[in-house]
Amino acid sequence: MLWSYLFSTLYGGIALLFLDGSFREGELEGGEWDVMRVLGLLLCLVWPLLIVYVILSAFRQKQIHRRTR
């Protein structure tokens, strides 16, 4: 249970860090809310899931490799 809290906190921190940077960049460029800006902000929340996917895939591959020995 502790791992899920730690993971959620880390994930939220990373996502918010990049969300803040993208938001500020959009404000400096004029602050207009178009489709690309909204899409960019939404992707800031989603892309850390790709890192989780890669880590879990590597872990599974390692487990499978251990079983075949």
- Per-residue pLDDT tens digits for 23-64: 998 899 888 888 988 898 888 888 878 888 888 898 888 877
User: What pLDDT does residue 69 have?
Assistant: 63
The structure tokens listed for 52 are: 């989780």
User: What pLDDT does residue 5 have?
Assistant: 87
* Domain extents in the chain: 2-68
Measured N-to-C along each axis, helices 2-28 and 35-46 cross at an angle, to the nearest 10 degrees, of 160
Q: Are 52 and 11 in contact (CB under 8 A)?
A: yes
pLDDT above 80 (res 68): no
* Mean pLDDT on 3-27: 87
**pTM > 0.85: yes or no:** no
